[in-house]
Amino acid sequence: MLPRLLLPIACVAAPATASPVAIAVQGLNGAPLAGAVVTLEVPGRAAPAARGTYQVEQRDIRFQPHVTIVPVGATVAFPNRDKVRHHVYSFSKSKKFELKLYGREEARSVTFDKSGPVALGCNIHDAMQGFVFVAATPWAAQADAAGRVRWADVPAGRATLKVWHPTIRAPGNTLSQAVAVGAQGLQTTLTLRR
Amino acid sequence: MIRRPRLRFRSLRTKLGVLYAGLFALALLAIAGVVQVVVEATAHRHTTAELATSGAIFDRLWADRERSLAESAQILASDFGFRSAVASGDRDTIASALASLKTRAHVQAAMVVDLDGAVVGADGPLAAVAAELPFALAPGRRDAVSVADGRAYRFVVSPILAPTEIGWVVFALRLDGAEMRALERLSAIPLTATVLHRRNGRWAAIGGEIPPDASVDALVARAASDRRPATLSLRDGRALAVAKPLAGPSGSAEAAVLIRYPLRLALAQFRPLQIGIGFAGVAGLVLVLLGSGRLALGLTRPIAALDRAARELGEGARTELAVEGEDEIARLAESFNRMSAGIVERERRIAHMTFHDALTGLPNRAALRQAVEQAVARALRAGERAALLCIDLDGLQGVNDTLGHPAGDEMLRRIAASLAELAPDGTVARIGGDEFAILLSGAVSPDRPRQLAQAVLDRLREPIRVEGQLVTTGVGIGVAVAPGDGGDADELLKNADLALHRANADGRSAFRFFEPALDAAARARRELELDLRAALADGQFSLDYQPIVDLGSDRIGGFEALLRWRHPVRGLVSPAEFVPVAEETGLIVAIGEWVMHEACRAAASWPAPVRVAVNVSALQFRHGGLAATITQALAGSGLDPRRLEVEITESVFLDGDGPVAKLLHSLRALGVRVALDDFGTGFSSLSYLRAFPFDKIKIDRSFVIAVARDDGAAAIVNAIVALALALGMDTTAEGVEEVAQLNTLRAQGCGSIQGYLFSRPVGGDQVEALLGRRLARAA
């Protein structure tokens, strides 16, 4: 059975003005699911245009940062800060690429033109794992240590709330839920359930 | 109440055999039982340990297999190209990679399951199980056992990381016989491993070799918490078994491995021990039976010998047992031998005593009789002769009385020795108190009996020195010679005895040969005896009375009663003829009693003071009861005791004068007068006159007859009368037949006379007529 999201707290109807949204994510065991990427897709609101450069460093045989949220169309540089060489690849549907062996202070760039999570691996170092989350909405954020995400300016109306985390056993490691953001905003706790 | 049947054995051997064999068998059973228990416990423990080891090996093997399969899968899963193929959904590439992996890893199926549950590399039931498996497995688990298509499969799941999970490589490994055999080969003991699976809640082997069974269910159910082996009763026998439940996808087991070890095999290693104990037991039993048999034989053989010997002894045979060893039985045999010897010795002594005289050691009358019997038979057969000498001693009684019985015995022994010395060719026997006999048999010369008899007479005529005293003895010998004097032992003995009587009758120290006349006389005497008994019964006796005339008054002072016997055939029989026979047979007592009563009865009718004199024999004195007879006669007749005179002869004193004097005094106390009869004959002794104060002395007729012609006789009569007068006794002269005799007697002062001169004895009916008659005074 695939995990699904429960919304035990009632939504409050809100005017079309911007409203605050606070989401808390809890894992299967009830603990806050820190690091989960929560997105709220509002119909008619595309992701903002990419501004500047994003980068995911390979430092200390790790991807830094571990999860990088970028808007659709963003170009992400993969500079190698280690002395060893890396072979960064992704088999994710939203972006398949391969940056063949490159050394220290070399940088490669990849443009992510489709939304969705992109799992980053290194063919040399199996333990290295990182994610570039390509968001198609302005409201995409990573849950803090308490599993919380806050937005202040979400327009009221119907929206799709999605939670991604590598440990979620679901296609694309993503669960989605339709929600309505009221004039007073939305405050809810998402709990992963089997 | 239940009676327990008791075993009874006829022989000690069987008894011992059964006892020992039984005890040994019990001990053996106990040992066998203990051994069996120990063996089973050991086998159980050994097998349990082995099963535990095998279980551990199984666990290890199981884990190793998982690891190696997972590694195989991991190698593929981490291959960049393969990951690329999976990520891009290149099914052909995936399938080809899986095919080569399947061969390399020796598994039945190698599959890839992607995140959507799509399966590449297999289809059908295996694919269906594999599709759900990665999602169903609890975190951390990477293998599970599941039943698909009626077979148990082990699934090993290995994730494909790129770098996140994009799918799983799944191996399906059939848990078949080969897999189990591999496990069995690793065990030190011949285990059997079987895969069970759960069907309708019951556990059974997939192949059907173990059908559903409650004990198997219970074993599998507790296997997770209790790993100890259990004993199962399976189709191929009892077995110790452990179960290894194999976790299914959801965690609960759908299959299990049953590792079992048949107890038959566990016990098989102890079979040599059991067989050895069995053989040792049988050998021991045989030895015990042989040993107990031998022991019993050792016991029973001497006992049987004793039994046999005791029976033989009982039948009179002299038996002696061989004594072996020093045990109780040997001592018993010794005792038996002593007892047997003692019995035989006593029998011999009894036999000797039966046929021998204890005092002299000579054969006794019974032995002599046998010897005579044989000798007579032999004489008849061989035409020889057998002579029997019967020897009668005089004077033994005198020696006994004067010197004592030891002296008498000594004398008998001396005489016995003398006889044996005189007759070395004959058999000397002692056949009575003072009677001996000598049997001459075989080649006896005609003159030998006479010669021997004379030699005996001559030898015994010489005085014998007994206890320092010289003793003279007389002897009478009767000789009878077979076959002429008797055709059998009894006749020869009787005839020798008759001859002896004749010799005795003829005087001292003589021998007589048997003559047929002796036999005739003896026969006549026997007839007389029979007649006497009849006479007493039939009243053939009567009394005659001879007057005794008082010379003072010339009148009858009394009568002497005289016994008369009128035999219906013989006529009048003389007392001289029948009295000795009556005395010998003891009839004299009864006859004397009759006489006493009859005399008193008759006298009572006479005028007083006419007395009656009754003769009393020495035998009557000896018999006792005489005083009672006299008292009864007096009382019965009413006769004044002073009118009864008892005449006795000196022979009454032969038995000693003490008792006789006592009896006479008692008679005198009654008033009865006592007269001494036949004075001057026999063993007359003046001492008798002192022994008792007789009222009267009767002078024997032998003196009276000669008193008128013979001065010597006259002098004796004179002396007797003078003696009687001096002692204050009356005198009666018997047998006075002539006037001259009367005159002489009267002149000498004799008190009274009796004889034909006055009257013969008369019948009782004539007494009254005589009473008035007076003695004619001679001129």
Report ipTM (2 d.p.).
0.74
Q: Which segment of A116-125, B267-276, B369-378 scores lowest on mean pLDDT? A: B267-276
* DSSP track, B538-556: HT-EEEEEEEEEETTTTEE
* Average pLDDT taken over every residue of chain A: 83
CA B742, B748, B751 angle in degrees (round to 5)?
Answer: 70
What is the mean predicted confidence (pLDDT) over B365-373?
Answer: 89
Distance CA(B566)–CA(B569), nearest Å, equals 9
Looking at chain A, how many residues does it have? 194
Contact at CB, B163 and A126, closer than 8 angstroms: yes
Q: Please check whether residues B597 and B746 belong to one and the same domain.
A: yes
pLDDT interval class at B615 (50, 70, 90): very high
Q: What is the pLDDT of residues B186-245, one digit of tens each?
A: 777 778 888 888 888 888 887 778 888 888 888 888 887 887 888 888 877 888 888 888
CA B638 – CA B658 distance, rounded (Å):
30
| Higher-pLDDT residue of B692, B762 | B762
Residue A1, pLDDT > 50, answer no
CA dist., res. B579 & res. B207, Å (int): 141
d(Cα B757, Cα B740) in Å, to the nearest integer? Answer: 10
Contact B460, B419 (CB under 8 A): no
B88-97, B301-310, B430-439: segment of lowest average pLDDT: B301-310
**B193 within 8 A of B214, measured Cβ to Cβ:** no
Q: Touching check for A123 and chain B: CB below 8 Å?
A: yes
pLDDT at A10: 39
Instruction: Report whether pLDDT(B317) > 80.
Output: no
Q: Are residues B580 and B725 in the same domain?
A: yes
- Mean pLDDT across the stretch B40-64? 83
Q: Which residues of B touch A169 (CB under 8 A)?
A: 135
Residue A177 C-alpha from the chain's centroid: 15
Task: Evaluate whether B480 touches B387 at the Cβ level (below 8 Å).
Answer: yes
Residue to test with chain A: of B74, B94, B164, B250, most A Cβ within 10 A: B164
For the stretch B680-702, pLDDT in tens is: 776 666 777 877 888 999 998 88
In a domain, B11, yes or no: no
What's the CA gap between B47 and B49, in Å, rounded?
A: 5
State the DSSP string of B315-374.
Answer: TT----PPP-SSSHHHHHHHHHHHHHHHHHHHHHHHHHHHHB-TTT--B-HHHHHHHHHH
Total count of residues recorded for chain B: 779
Q: Give B166's contacts in chain A (Cβ within 8 Å).
A: 91
Q: Taking a C-beta distance cutoff of 8 angstroms, is the pair B350, B409 a contact?
A: no
Lowest-confidence segment of A28-32, B587-591, B727-731, B756-760 by average pLDDT: A28-32
Query: Looking at the complex, does the CB of residue B250 fall below 8 Å from at least one CB of chain A?
Result: no
B85/chain A closest Cα distance in angstroms: 9
Residue B70: CB atoms within 10 A of its CB come to 19
Is B84 near chain A, with CB under 8 Å?
A: yes
Q: Do B498 and B617 lie in a common domain?
A: no
Close Cβ partners of B693 (under 8 Å, ≥ 6 residues apart): B727, B728, B729
Report which listed range, A31-40, A162-171, A177-186, B313-322, is most confident: A31-40
In terms of phi and psi (left: phi > 0; alpha: psi -120 to 50; beta: otherwise), the region of A172 is left
Residue B434 lies in a domain: yes
Grade residue A69 by pLDDT with cuts at 50, 70 and 90: very high
Q: Could you tell me if B423 and B450 lie in one domain?
A: yes
How do residues B229-244 score in pLDDT, each as one tens digit?
888 888 778 888 888 8
Q: What is the 3-state secondary structure (H, E, C) of chain A?
A: CCCEEECCCCCCCCCCCEEEEEEEEECCCCCECCCCEEEEECCCCCCCCCCCCEECEEECCEEECCEEEEECCEEEECCECCCCCEEEEEECCCCEEEEEEECCCCCCEEEECCCEEEEEEECCCCCCEEEEEEECCCEEEECCCCCEEEEEEEECEEEEEEEECCCCCCHHHEEEEEEEEECCEEEEEEEEEC
Q: How far apart are CA A62 and CA A49, in angstroms?
A: 28
Q: Is residue B552 part of a domain?
A: yes
pLDDT of B6 reads: 61
Query: Chain A neighbours among B 96-155 (CB < 8 Å)?
Result: 115-116, 135
Does the residue B5 lie in any domain? no
Per cent of chain B over pLDDT 90 is: 17
For CA atoms B395, B398, B402, B408, give the dihedral sign: positive
Are B84 and B76 spatial neighbours (Cβ–Cβ below 8 Å)? no
Report the distance separating Cα B289 and Cα B462, nearest Å.
Answer: 83
A171 touches chain B (CB under 8 A): yes
Domain of B639, CATH number, reads 3.20.20.450
C-alpha span between B356 and A134 (Å, rounded): 162
Q: How many of the other CB atoms lie within 10 Å of CB of B130?
A: 30
Q: Do residue B375 and residue B248 come from a single domain?
A: no
Are the CB atoms for A5 and A190 separated by under 8 Å?
yes
For B188, which DSSP code? S
Based on the fold, state whether residues B496 and B573 are members of the same structural domain: no
Single out the residue of B230, B233, B185, B193 nearest to residue B213, CA to CA.
B233
Note the pLDDT of residue A142. Answer: 92
Residue type, B537: A
Where is the domain boundary, B329, B352, B375? B352
Span A58-75, mean pLDDT?
A: 91
Note the pLDDT of residue A184.
83
Residue-wise pLDDT for B325-355, tens only, equals 778 878 888 888 888 888 888 888 888 888 8
Residue B656 confidence (pLDDT): 67
Q: Please indicate, yes or no, whether residues B103 and B198 belong to a single structural domain of this protein.
A: no
Domain span including residue B300: 276-352
User: For residue A84, what are the CA distances in angstroms to A56, A65, A124, A125, A127?
Assistant: 16, 18, 10, 10, 14
> Is the Cβ of B25 closer than 8 Å to some Cβ of chain A?
no
Look over chain B and give the mean of its residue pLDDT values, rounded to a whole number.
85
Q: Residue B278, SS3?
A: helix
Half-sphere exposure for A56 (CA within 13 Å, toward CB):
33
Check whether residue B317 and residue B432 sit in a common domain.
Answer: no
Would you state the pLDDT for residue B515? 82
What is the spatial distance between Cα B621 and Cα B661, in angstroms, rounded to a whole number?
A: 11
Tokens of B214: 């409650």
Residue A106: is its pLDDT beyond 70?
yes
Which amino acid belongs to residue B497? D
What average pLDDT does range B464-477 have in this prediction?
A: 83
Cα dihedral B576, B577, B579, B583 sign: positive
Q: Name the DSSP class of B390.
A: E
The DSSP symbol for B423 reads -
* A133 vs A95: CA distance, rounded Å: 10
DSSP state letters, B719-772: HHHHHHHHHT-EEEE----SHHHHHHHHHHT--EE-STTT---EEGGGHHHHHT
Q: Supply the CATH number for residue B233's domain.
A: 3.30.450
- Name every residue whose Cβ is closer than 8 Å to that of residue A17 and which is 6 or more positions away in sequence: A155, A156, A183
Q: Is residue B163 within 8 angstroms of chain A, CB to CB?
A: yes
CATH code of B469's domain = 3.30.70.270
Q: In this structure, which amino acid lies at residue B601? A: R
Q: How distant is the Cα of A152 from the closest Cα of chain B, in angstroms? A: 33
Residue whose pair of structure tokens reads 């002149």 in the numeric block:
B747
Judge if B237 and B305 occupy the same domain: no
Q: Examine residue B522 and state whether it is found in any structural domain, yes or no.
A: no
* Residues B693 and B661 grouped into a single domain: yes
Residue in chain A nearest B80 by alpha carbon: A123
Last residue of a domain, one of B150, B174, B198: B174
Asked if residues A4 and A193 have their Cβ atoms less than 8 Å apart, the reply is yes
CA distance B626 to B131: 159
Q: Name the residue among A96, A126, A173 with its Cβ closest to that of B78.
A: A126
Enter the tokens of residue B23. Answer: 């005890």
Q: Would you state the structure tokens that stand for residue B16, as one six-digit string? A: 């011992």
Query: Are residue B340 and residue B410 in the same domain, yes or no?
Result: no
Q: Label the pairing between strands B555-567 and B541-550.
A: antiparallel
pLDDT greater than 50 at residue A12: no
Per the rule left: phi > 0, alpha: psi between -120 and 50, beta: everything else, B741 is alpha
Does residue B463 form part of some domain? Answer: yes
Contact A119/B164, CB-based, under 8 Å?
yes
Strands (E) located in B568-694: 571-573, 611-615, 644-648, 673-679
**Is B88 in contact with A91 (Cβ distance < 8 A)?**
yes
CA distances (Å), B100 to each of A175, B77, B97, B158, B638, in order? Answer: 37, 13, 5, 17, 175
Domains of chain A, each with CATH number or no CATH: 4-45+138-193 (2.60.40.10), 54-135 (2.60.40.420)
pLDDT in tens, B91-143: 888 888 888 888 888 888 889 988 888 888 888 888 888 888 888 888 788 88
Assess contact for A121 and A89: CB atoms under 8 A: yes
Would you call A37 an interface residue with chain B, using a CB distance cutoff of 8 Å?
no
Joined together, the tokens standing for residue A139 give: 């409201």
Strands A18-26 and A186-193, bridge-based pairing: parallel
Residue B521 belongs to a domain: no
Give, as one character, the DSSP assignment of residue B6: P
**Of A91, A126, A166, which is closest to B84 when you measure between CB atoms?**
A91
The pLDDT of residue A14 is above 70: no
Amino acid found at B509:
S
Tell me the pLDDT band of B779, cut-offs 50, 70 and 90.
Answer: very low
Count of A-B CB contacts under 8 Å: 31
> How many CA atoms lie within 13 Å of B44's alpha carbon, on the beta-carbon side?
12
Does B648 share its domain with B604?
Answer: yes
Q: Considering only CA atoms, which of B587, B545, B537 is closest in space to residue B563?
A: B545
Residue scoring higher pLDDT (B82 or B54): B82
Burial status of residue B255 (CB atoms within 10 A of its CB: 0-12, 13-18, 19 or more)? buried
Average pLDDT, stretch B381-399?
86
Locate the chain A residue with the closest alpha carbon to B165.
A166
Instruction: Quote the number of domains for chain B.
Output: 5
Q: Tens digit of pLDDT for each residue in A76-92? A: 999 988 888 888 999 88
**Residues A20-56 pLDDT 10s:** 889 999 888 888 888 899 999 888 888 788 777 888 9
Query: Which has the minimum average pLDDT: B377-381, B471-475, B493-497, B674-678?
Result: B471-475
B763 pLDDT exceeds 60? yes
Q: Given an 8 Å threshold on Cβ–Cβ distance, is A173 in contact with B162? A: no
